[in-house]
């Protein structure tokens, strides 16, 4: 285990432990660079269909990775989620139960389908949606559950799929932070009726800005194609004749570029070993921080294996006697860029408050008004707790990083050993005695 010497905190004028340097990410192979240059020289940048070699390569590779499921590459993770809903015929007035503890795309994709997000509370320790809270919010208007594998940790897919089957609901997995994560040995994305993945440049499977949808149902796949990909998908093998009369360009232009499609196929080749390195680095950090007094590891189920898009911990504010934000100031001053990733429950965000909102017009306020939903009144105390106590840091350590894990631990321990000084500092900042 690591131990820091009790020297003066950098926040209070001392010398910092030193910056925790993240590796350059994403990392592309020399072959990927050569292929990008070739595509650009040839001027072949549009990924209209599987008739384009790079699109076909990416979708076939991702399909194999996901056990033969249908894959639609898209321009973003948001697009993959919205097309998951579109492919499942989720539209105007349908209620979709989702989480208030997430990035906004897991809610905006529902709004953009003219459907109604309904927020279920989360586990206060992990931030993952609570199946019991989902069930408590099911009504006769509920059509779907959209869950999020937050920070790369899988939700309880056993309970959620059992619940969905009992109530005849479809399930969409938001896997935007969970490439390679597993639940009981099965890949995230391989449970639901559809799943969406973000592949923007910060994610574990990183292109530039891209995503993909996965589904076991070919009809869901083709309906998603009709809603998002014109000038090409209707000539792909297997396109249903019954959809041909409605093929037009009244679509969301969500197609992928050939460059991003190629990068998805190339990056996928090394995804497994990079995720294993992330896990090994986290395991080392877990051991190093075994004696930490004020930051605690979330108690995730042993059935889940995370892929660590972010490193997430919980700050024990009552035990420490300081606010979480004071702790974050101290670790940041020492060189660790740690913060609170999700600043407030989504149900409190101003653009959802149709009764009081005064900003630019939205496409969803009319739907919310007709549904008579009042989001600020949503009962999500566990979400509020983790918003107030969670601390996160990007975790891009896709190679062994033993020295860096030691530096992180040194920073945490140094701050903890100076907790009395931090208490005094906080009182001076707030005007306390």
Sign of CA dihedral 43, 49, 55, 57: negative
Give the per-residue pLDDT at 3: 56
Instruction: Tell me how far apart the alpha carbons of residues 340 and 414 are, in angstroms, rounded to a whole number.
Output: 20
CB 36 within 8 A of CB 30: no
Which residues is 173 bridged to in the sheet?
147, 195
Q: What is the CATH number of domain 30-269?
A: 3.40.640.10
**How far is it, in rounded angstroms, from Cα 73 to Cα 56?**
10
CATH code, residues 10-27+272-342+385-430: 3.90.1150.10
Q: How many CA atoms lie within 13 A of 44 on its CB side?
A: 17
Long-range contacts of 425-429 (CB under 8 A, 24+ apart): 425/11, 425/12, 425/326, 426/322, 426/323, 426/326, 429/326
Closest CA to 233 of 64, 46, 80: 46
Residue 236 structure tokens: 């792909």
State the residue for tokens 């350059």. 24
Q: Is 213 exposed, middle or buried (CB count within 10 Å of its CB: 0-12, 13-18, 19+)?
A: buried
The count of C-alpha atoms lying within 13 angstroms of the C-alpha of 7, restricted to the half-sphere facing its C-beta, is 12
Look at residue 432 in the predicted model and tell me its pLDDT: 61
Q: Parse the chain into domains and list their residue ranges.
A: 10-27+272-342+385-430, 30-269
**Residue found by looking up tokens 């350590």 in the block:** 397
Report residue 198 CA to chain centroid gap. 8
- How far apart, in whole angstroms, are the C-alpha atoms of residue 382 and residue 345? 10
CA atoms within 13 A on the CB side of 114: 7
The predicted pLDDT at position 430 comes to 80
pLDDT at 216: 98
Cβ neighbours around 120 below 10 Å, total: 24
User: Peptide bond preceding 26: is omega within 30 degrees of 0, i.e. cis?
Assistant: yes
C-alpha closest to that of 174 among 204, 141, 147, 203? 147
DSSP 128: P
Q: Which residues contact 161 (CB under 8 A, 6 or more apart)?
A: 171, 191, 192
Give the pLDDT of residue 39.
98
Angle between helices 258-288 and 402-417 (to 10 degrees): 50
Q: What is the pLDDT along the chain (433 residues), one digit of tens a residue?
A: 555 557 999 999 999 999 999 999 999 999 999 999 999 999 999 999 999 999 999 999 999 999 999 999 999 999 999 999 999 999 999 999 999 999 999 999 999 999 999 999 999 999 999 999 999 999 999 999 999 999 999 999 999 999 999 999 999 999 999 999 999 999 999 999 999 999 999 999 999 999 999 999 999 999 999 999 887 799 999 999 999 999 999 999 999 999 999 999 999 999 999 999 999 999 999 999 999 999 999 999 999 999 999 999 999 999 999 999 999 999 999 999 999 999 999 999 999 999 999 999 999 999 999 999 999 878 999 999 999 999 999 999 999 999 999 999 999 999 999 999 999 999 999 876 5
């Amino acid at each position: 285990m690591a131990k820091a010497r009790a020297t003066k905190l950098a926040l209070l004028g001392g010398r910092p432990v030193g910056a925790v340097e993240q590796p350059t990410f994403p990392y592309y192979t020399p072959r990927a660079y050569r292929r990008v240059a070739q595509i650009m020289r040839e001027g072949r940048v549009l990924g209209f269909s599987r008739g384009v070699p790079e699109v076909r390569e990416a979708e076939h590779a991702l399909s194999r990775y996901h056990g033969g499921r249908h894959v639609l590459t898209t321009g973003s993770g948001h697009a993959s989620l919205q097309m998951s809903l579109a492919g499942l015929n989720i539209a105007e007035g349908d209620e979709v139960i989702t989480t208030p503890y997430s990035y906004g795309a897991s809610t905006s994709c529902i709004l953009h389908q003219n459907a109604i997000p309904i927020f279920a509370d989360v586990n206060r320790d992990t931030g993952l949606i609570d199946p019991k809270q989902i069930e408590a919010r099911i009504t006769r208007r509920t059509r779907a559950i959209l869950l999020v594998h937050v920070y790369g940790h899988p939700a309880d897919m056993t309970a959620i799929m059992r619940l969905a089957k009992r109530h005849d609901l479809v399930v969409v997995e938001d896997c935007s932070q969970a490439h390679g994560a597993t639940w009981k040995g099965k890949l995230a994305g391989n449970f639901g009726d559809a799943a969406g993945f973000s592949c923007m440049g910060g994610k574990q499977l990183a292109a530039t800005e891209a995503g993909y949808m996965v589904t076991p149902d070919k009809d869901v796949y083709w309906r998603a194609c009709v809603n998002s990909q014109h000038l090409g998908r209707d000539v792909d093998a297997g396109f249903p004749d019954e959809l041909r009369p409605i093929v037009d360009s009244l679509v969301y232009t969500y197609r992928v570029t050939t460059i991003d499609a190629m990068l998805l196929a190339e990056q996928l080749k090394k995804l497994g070993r990079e995720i294993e390195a992330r896990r090994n680095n986290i395991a080392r950090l877990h051991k190093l921080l075994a004696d930490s007094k004020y930051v605690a590891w979330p108690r995730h189920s042993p059935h889940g294996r995370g892929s660590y898009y972010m490193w997430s911990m919980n700050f024990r504010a009552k035990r420490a006697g300081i606010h979480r934000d004071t702790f974050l100031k101290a670790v940041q001053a020492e060189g660790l860029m740690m913060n609170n990733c999700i600043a407030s429950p989504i149900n409190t965000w101003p653009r959802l408050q149709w009764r009081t909102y005064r900003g630019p017009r939205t496409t969803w306020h009319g739907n919310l008004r007709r549904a008579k939903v009042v989001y600020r009144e949503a009962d999500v105390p566990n979400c509020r707790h983790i918003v107030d106590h969670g601390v996160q840091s990007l975790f891009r350590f896709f190679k062994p990083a033993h020295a860096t894990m030691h530096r992180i631990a040194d920073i945490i321990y140094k701050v903890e050993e100076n907790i009395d000084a931090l208490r005094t500092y906080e009182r001076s900042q707030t005007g306390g005695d």
